[in-house]
């Protein structure tokens, strides 16, 4: 078992423990670490008898636990907030269908690429066929998600809807569930090979017991749900909090109100990111009884472990 997964299993058992760990790992300053520093940190962890607390930040945020490859800088967990924040802000501006489609297309492209590079890397199949399938399905999911996101605005613009109730529905109510749902959809689609082909499951000593489709399905479902909670909650709470600020007459001009809205979205997204990542253990657990028959006959361990991915 990878050293970082062992650390997450021992130190990230409760939600609060995982929250503190993620708050540390998501530090954007970790993006400044060079590849050589990351390799030295990784080597230090691997050669240590114990999992060290200090190097975990560098290695966890920069190295994939399944492949031991360094993740591209812009697709590491510390880069997720700085990149997605402006994309979410622009995507939430429901004005023109074309603008909304383009902004959401860019957002879902990054969301899908991040998922692709941070998912479980133990899928057993022909390497290039899996990658080609993920890229092909990912492009389809991105286009579909962007179309669904722009559809309500396009409908309003096309038919000139002036009904206040419909405008409230399209501009204030629909964006949150649609954005969250489509974010989860792209995660599930790009990680299809994980529950089609299965992922490796390990015993508590790190020995690979077998490959499980059910573990892959659980890993993808948990990750997709956490991504839906992250963006759905952000787009839901932002207008609610902005409305309360508006009622206090704190922001008296449209420019001031726009600044307040951006501040609220930044605060909610920054707070929800470690919360959503902490919803489920990074080193996932699944009961032996819930696995396939061939794994049941291969071990007597009551619980097995796997890398959930981000």
User: Where would I find the beta strands (DSSP E) of the chain?
Assistant: 199-202, 208-212, 283-287, 303-307
Residue 252's pLDDT band (cuts 50, 70, 90): confident
Structure tokens at 52: 């060290």
Residue 279's pLDDT band (cuts 50, 70, 90): very high
- Give residues with Cβ within 8 angstroms of 200, minimum separation 6: 66, 122, 124, 208, 210, 211, 212, 306
Tens digit of pLDDT for each residue in 142-193? 999 999 988 888 777 776 667 777 777 777 788 889 999 999 999 999 999 9
Tell me the C-alpha distance between 250 and 68, whole Å: 50
Tens digit of pLDDT for each residue in 31-76? 888 888 887 777 776 666 444 444 455 556 788 888 888 899 999 9
Provide the whole-model pTM: 0.89
Sheet holding 199-202, edge to edge: 208-212, 199-202, 303-307, 283-287
Structure tokens at 66: 């399944």
257 and 242 Cβ atoms separated by less than 8 Å: yes
């Amino acid at each position: 078992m990878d050293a970082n997964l062992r650390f997450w299993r021992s130190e990230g058992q409760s939600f609060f423990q995982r929250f503190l760990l993620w708050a540390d790992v998501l530090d954007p300053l970790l993006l400044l670490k060079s590849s050589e520093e990351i390799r030295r940190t990784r080597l230090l962890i691997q050669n240590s008898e114990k999992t060290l607390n200090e190097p975990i930040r560098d290695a966890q945020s920069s190295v994939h636990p399944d492949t031991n490859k360094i993740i591209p800088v812009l697709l590491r967990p510390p880069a997720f907030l700085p990149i997605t924040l402006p994309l979410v802000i622009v995507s939430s501006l429901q004005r023109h269908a074309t603008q909304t489609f383009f902004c959401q297309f860019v957002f879902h492209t990054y969301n899908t690429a991040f998922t692709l590079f941070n998912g479980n890397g133990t899928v057993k199949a022909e390497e290039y066929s899996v990658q080609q399938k993920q890229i092909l399905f990912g492009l389809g999911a991105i286009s579909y998600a962007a179309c669904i996101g722009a559809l309500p605005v396009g409908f309003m613009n096309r038919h000139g809807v002036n009904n206040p109730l419909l405008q409230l529905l399209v501009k204030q109510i629909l964006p949150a569930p649609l954005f969250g749902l489509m974010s989860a959809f792209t995660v599930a689609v790009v990680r299809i090979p994980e529950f089609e082909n299965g992922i490796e499951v390990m015993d508590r000593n790190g020995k690979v017991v077998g490959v499980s489709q059910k573990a892959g399905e659980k890993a993808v479902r948990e990750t997709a749900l956490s991504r839906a909670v992250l963006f759905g909650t952000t787009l839901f709470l932002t207008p609610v909090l902005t409305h309360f600020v508006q009622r206090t007459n704190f922001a008296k001009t449209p420019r001031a109100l726009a600044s307040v809205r951006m501040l609220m979205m930044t605060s909610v997204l920054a707070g929800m990111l470690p919360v959503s990542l902490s919803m489920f253990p990074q080193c996932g657990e699944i009961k032996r009884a819930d696995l396939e028959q061939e794994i049941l006959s291969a071990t007597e361990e009551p619980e097995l472990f796997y890398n959930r991915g981000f």
